[in-house]
């Protein structure tokens, strides 16, 4: 069977790499893909929001399964648009429709969903232009740090946290009145600060049943020791020491089961991944956010640990048969180190020639912002590659990644040297 993966990041390279291993998969297409995905399959020069071109490509390439990598086409309603096409009745799609995608597309919708279904989360109040004065007053009733969240999609930049009450008020004004993220920040949530350690949990659901994928920890800040601005993710590790059996049982009972049951109760059809961003506060899970897709770079450590055939799991998801599926997880540790362009997450240059490094057993070099230009691979984004190392423990996995990174080079290549070290301190 032929498959199409939408997206251009390390996540999509990892999905293509894993799906290509299935004996049931014939051709893999990636749109638009990157300099790594075109070694696994065929890149199609189509943007992820170009619904018309996507429909044409699905038909022309006899695609049986479509996996939608990023959130934007989901929130914009790609799935609903495809479901209306009579030519595509047999197409299997991984990703929710527009309504389900609101779990990520609107923080207000997600918060109301969690409250309605008794899912532990930070308390929050919602503000907009009409009640912004109440927002300023509400901030005064809170203890710092103050957490402000733009309601809509803001490319991972919509959460502002500050210790300073005046800065928090100014942030509220810039979000709502200054339209910092346009319509996405016309509504803002002011949320209680959760003090704990973060964990990313992933499930596949067909709307009735679910399977839990390996958990991961992501490193969001640009600088070592978790300093500097937020990025899309500078590295990730799986498994995570504190996600032990007892904690994961709480996650399943208090978060995963009510989430899947809540979707069903609310009559929201959902076939795809749910990425649950959690805070572990004194061994209790609280949901920080839902994403309606896999994480990047988390996918680059999660999928190498899935032993089962991913195509079969996705087929069961799309057909509503996940209850009968089984998922086998590899016991080893995976870590990924993201190599970024100098200047990222601010301004950076593209088009730098990359020396892609040596092959090394137990290391998978995933591409993100790269493209092939005749015989060369050049940088084409902020996050350029994600080097995944596999080992019998965290130290071994991380060391393998760094060993290969020594042989990779381009002008301005930047990366964090402390991925996983906080978990080592916790005893992992
Ligand atoms: P999000 O875009 O929702 O993932 O939020 C970005 C980051 O802000 C998260 O990864 C957390 O580190 C932090 N964050 C979000 N909400 C809270 C909260 N209520 N308390 C503490 N930190 C938070
Ligand atoms: N790494 C975080 C995300 O994919 O949203």
Residue nearest to atom 3 of ligand 1 (CA): 289
Minimum CA distance residue for ligand 1 atom 4: 289
Q: Closest ligand 1 atom to the C-alpha of 286?
A: 19
Ligand nearest to the CA of 286: 1
Whose alpha carbon is nearest atom 3 of ligand 2?
295
- Give this prediction's pTM: 0.95
Q: Atom of ligand 2 at shortest distance to CA of 295?
A: 4
Residue 29 contacts residue 61 (beta carbons within 8 Å): yes
Nearest-5° Cα angle at 299, 297 to 302: 120
Locate the DSSP E strands across 207-281.
210-212, 217-218, 221-223, 227-230, 235-238, 272-281
Partners of 281 in the β-ladder: 284
Nearest ligand to residue 231 Cα:
2
Report the relative pairing of strands 63-68 and 2-7 from DSSP bridges.
parallel
Q: Using CA positions, which residue lies closest to atom 5 of ligand 2?
A: 295
Which among 232, 222, 225 has a CA at the least distance from the CA of 418? 225
| Buried b or exposed e, range 251-270, using 16+ CB within 10 angstroms | bbebbbebbbebbeeeebeb
Query: Is 288 a pocket residue for ligand 1 (Cβ < 6 Å)?
Result: yes
What are the structure tokens assigned to 413, written together? 């290549």
Token couple for 141: 């009733």
Ligand 1 atom with least separation from CA of 288: 16
Residue 245's pLDDT is 95
Tell me phi and psi for residue 92, to 5 degrees. Answer: -95, 130
Quote the pLDDT of residue 345. Answer: 93
Closest CA to 201 of 295, 265, 118: 295
Low-confidence ranges of the chain (pLDDT < 70): none
CA of residue 254 to ligand 2 center, whole Å: 22
- The three-class DSSP label of residue 181 is coil
Please tell me the number of Cα atoms within 13 Å of 160 on its side-chain side: 23
What are 336-361's pLDDT values in tens digits? 999 999 999 999 999 999 998 888 99
Rg (CA), the chain: 21
Write the DSSP string, 105-143: H-HHHHHHHHHHTT--B--EEEE-GGGHHHHHHHHHHSP
H helices within 117-210, ranges in order? 132-141, 165-176
CA distance 77 to 256: 24
């Amino acid at each position: 069977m032929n498959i199409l993966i939408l997206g251009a990041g390390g996540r999509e390279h990892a999905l293509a790499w894993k799906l290509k291993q299935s004996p049931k998969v014939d051709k893999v297409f990636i749109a638009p893909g990157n300099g790594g995905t075109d070694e696994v399959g065929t890149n199609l020069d189509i943007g992820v929001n170009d619904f018309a071109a996507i429909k044409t490509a699905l038909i022309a390439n006899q695609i049986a399964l479509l996996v939608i990598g990023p959130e934007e086409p989901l929130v914009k309603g790609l799935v609903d648009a495809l479901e209306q096409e009579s030519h595509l009745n047999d197409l299997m799609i991984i990703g929710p429709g527009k309504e389900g995608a609101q779990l990520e597309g609107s923080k207000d919708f997600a918060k109301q969903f969690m409250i309605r279904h008794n899912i532990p989360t930070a308390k929050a109040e919602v503000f907009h232009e009409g009640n912004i004065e109440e927002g300023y007053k509400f901030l005064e009733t809170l203890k710092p740090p103050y957490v402000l969240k733009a309601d809509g999609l803001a490319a991972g930049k919509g959460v502002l946290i500050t210790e300073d009450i005046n800065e928090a008020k100014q942030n509220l004004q810039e979000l709502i009145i200054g339209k910092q993220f346009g319509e996405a920040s016309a509504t803002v949530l002011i949320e209680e600060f959760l003090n704990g350690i973060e964990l990313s949990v992933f499930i596949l659901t067909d709307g009735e049943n679910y399977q839990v994928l390996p958990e991961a920890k992501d490193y969001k800040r640009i600088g070592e020791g978790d300093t500097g601005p937020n990025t899309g993710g500078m590295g990730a590790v799986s498994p995570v020491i504190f996600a032990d059996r007892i904690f994961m049982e709480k996650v399943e009972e208090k978060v995963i089961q009510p989430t899947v049951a809540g979707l069903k109760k609310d009559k929201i059809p959902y076939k795809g991944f749910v990425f649950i961003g959690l805070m572990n506060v004194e061994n209790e899970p609280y949901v920080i956010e839902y994403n309606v897709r896999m994480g990047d770079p988390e996918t680059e450590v999660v999928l190498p640990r899935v032993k089962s055939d991913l195509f079969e799991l996705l087929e069961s998801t799309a057909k509503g048969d996940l209850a009968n599926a089984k998922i086998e997880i590899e016991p080893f540790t995976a870590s990924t180190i993201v190599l970024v362009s100098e200047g990222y997450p601010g301004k950076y240059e593209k088009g730098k020639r990359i020396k892609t490094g040596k092959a090394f057993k137990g290391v998978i070099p995933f591409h993100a912002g790269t493209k092939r230009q005749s015989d060369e691979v050049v940088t084409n984004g902020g996050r350029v590659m994600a080097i995944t190392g596999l080992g019998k423990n965290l130290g071994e996995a991380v060391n393998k990644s760094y060993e290969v990174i020594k042989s990779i080079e381009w002008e301005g290549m930047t990366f964090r040297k402390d991925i996983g070290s906080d978990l080592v301190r916790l005893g992992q």
